[in-house]
Each structure stands twice: as C-alpha cells, then as structure tokens.
Amino acid sequence: MLELISLSKTYRTGDAALSDVSLQVPKGQIVGLIGPSGAGKSTLIRCINRLVEPSTGKIELGGVDLVTLGRRDLRKQRRRIGMIFQEYALVERLTVMENVLSGRLGYVPFWRSYLRRFDASDIQRAYQLLDRVGLLDHADKRADALSGGQRQRVGIARALAQDPDLLLVDEPTASLDPKTSRQIMRLLTEICTERDLPAIVNIHDVPLARQFMQRIVGLRAGQIVFDDAPTALTEDALTRIYGAEDWDAMRKGDIDQAEAENDAIRQLAEVGA
C-alpha cells in the first residue's frame, strides 16, 4: 500500500504545486489522476520517487517512509517503483530484449557494460514479460523499429522487470492513437490486477480514465477536489476539477511533457550512478 500524508510541494519559484494532499492506494488498485494542465499531477508522481523533493508531508510505501531516505536507501527503494513514461524513454539502438533487461538494473547509467552479467533466470523472466505484453516475436528487433504502441509495451515490460511494488505512470497514452491507447490501458489494468500492484496513472483523457480506472482522483491547483469511482464523475464533478474549461480537450500539458520527462530520466540516471 502507498500512503501520502499531507504532502505539499512549493517550488523555489513560489508555485504551490501540491497543497496538503493525502491519499491511500491499496494493493492492486489503479488510480487515475486527472486534472487540468498545471494541476500538479506530474509533481505528485515525481514526489513519490523523489525526482522532486516534497516540501512537507510523508510518503510511505509498504511502511517505508520515502521522504527521509538517504541516497543509498533511496536508490534501493526506487527499484521498488516502476516508472512508465509518455515518450517511452527506450534506448533506441538497443533491442527490445536489452531494453527490458535494463529494467533489472533500475536506471543505472553505463548499464550496457553489465549486459552480459544477466543470468539465465533474468533472461527467462524477460521473455515471459515480453510474452505477457505481446512482443515475444519482437525480442530481437531494435527499439527504434517499433510502433508507438509496441514501444509503450516495451516500457511496461521494462518497468515490470524491476519487479516493482508500485507503478507510476505519467500520461502513458498521450502519444498514441485512440485504439492503441485503449489497448495499452487495458494491458496496464490487467497487469496491475494480476500482480496485485498499486498504480497511479496520470491521464489527460477523461473518457479513457472513465473506462479503465477503478478510482479517479481529481486534482485542481494542487489540491484533491474529487476522489471517487468513475461513475461519480458527473458534469458537476468535472466542472469542479477543470473549471469552465473544455475538459474533453485537455491536452495542453503535452508540450512540456517530453521535456519534463527527459529531465526526469536524467535525474534517475544520476542517482543510479
């Protein structure tokens, strides 16, 4: 179980990105985090794996307080947290199999030199994961030869290769067409159920969140203004979350997303070193 207790984040620039956010995510539950651009969705996800340092509050994963961890313990705890990104963050010139195996190392840079150290059980597990995400026939293809949907499947398999206790997923379908988006959401939700994995999924697309999430948390200006089943997401509730904006066309944050992701990946690699 993941528990956020009174989590707040104020950036140095003075933006209060999160204010007093408390949230419990039990095992196996997949929470869709929705809200307008700038609401704090990415900040919330990044506080959990400490890509962003929370200003105040607690974050507990299976009883371990993630906020007070030193560098070495943080590195260990981060292995328990699988990240899935909008832009996949694959190593383009490596094979699908190599990308999945890299999940075994967390986000260690220069991990290529470790490649030959994987034992047979790691490789067998990677094949099982590729089979689960429907890419067994693509194991030896280069990542840059895949479609967007296939790339996101590799991203999912890589996160699972970490054997995580939690999945954090930031806009997983924002670069995909509607049909592929539904397939990816279905795969993600099935996998969380199978593995009893808790997950937080940032998602712009309200219809998609409605269709696949068991629970929806709405953020607005850094505060939780909705926390309920998808069926409770009425027009009124959507207005509370998005204001008078057109909630069906909430795709504005996408421009900053790729840049923020590159930043996040760089930071993960630095701490892995």
Binding site for ligand ADP (CB under 6 A): 11, 13, 15, 17, 35, 37-43, 253
Q: Which stretch binds Mg ion (CB under 5 A): 41-49, 69-77, 225-233, 240-248?
A: 41-49
CB of 158 to Mg ion, least distance (A): 21
Span near Mg ion by CB under 5 A; candidates 23-31, 35-43, 69-77, 239-247: 35-43
Which residues, at least 6 apart from 7, have a Cβ–Cβ distance to it below 8 Å? 18, 20, 21, 22, 23, 44, 47, 54, 56, 57, 58, 59
Q: With respect to ligand ADP, which residue has the nearer C-beta, 37 or 180?
A: 37
- With respect to ligand ADP, which residue has the nearer C-beta, 112 or 240? 240
Q: In this complex, which beta carbon is closest to Mg ion, that of residue 19 or of residue 42?
A: 42
Q: Which is nearer to Mg ion, 85 or 111 (CB)?
A: 85
Q: From the CB of 251, what's the least distance to ligand ADP, in Å?
A: 11
Nearer to ligand ADP, 11 or 110 (CB): 11
- For the bound state, the minimum distance from the C-beta of residue 54 to ligand ADP, rounded and expressed in Å, comes to 12
The interface partner of residue 43, options being Mg ion, ligand ADP, none and the CB cut-off 5 to 8 Å by kind, is ligand ADP
d(CA 84, CA 224): 23
Which residues are registered as beta bridge partners of 167? 82, 199
Radius of gyration of the chain, Cα coordinates, nearest whole angstrom: 18
Toward ligand ADP, which CB reaches closer, 28 or 38?
A: 38
**Cα–Cα distances in angstroms (integers) from residue 241 to residues 78, 199, 222, in the given order:** 31, 21, 11
Assigned token pair, 213: 């999430």
Is 58:7 a contact under the CB 8 Å cutoff? yes
- Closest C-alpha among 163, 162, 182, 164 to residue 172: 182
On the CB side of 51, CA atoms within 13 Å amount to 20
With beta carbons less than 8 A apart as the criterion, state whether 25 and 41 touch.
no
Q: Which tokens belong to 132? A: 């689960």
Q: Quick check: 86 binds Mg ion (CB under 5 A)?
A: no
Residue 17, binding choice from Mg ion, ligand ADP, none, Cβ under 5 to 8 Å by partner class: ligand ADP
- Residue 272 binds: one of ligand ADP, Mg ion, none (C-beta under 5 to 8 A by kind): none
Q: Is 189 in the site for Mg ion (CB under 5 A)?
A: no
Could you tell me the CA-to-CA distances from 256 to 127, 134, 170, 171, 262 in Å, in that order?
Answer: 34, 31, 12, 12, 10
Q: Which of 19, 29, 42, 152 binds Mg ion (CB under 5 A)?
A: 42
d(CA 48, CA 53): 9
Site string for Mg ion, 95-114 (x = CB under 5 A): --------------------
Instruction: Write out the residues near Mg ion by the rule CB under 5 A.
Output: 41-42, 253
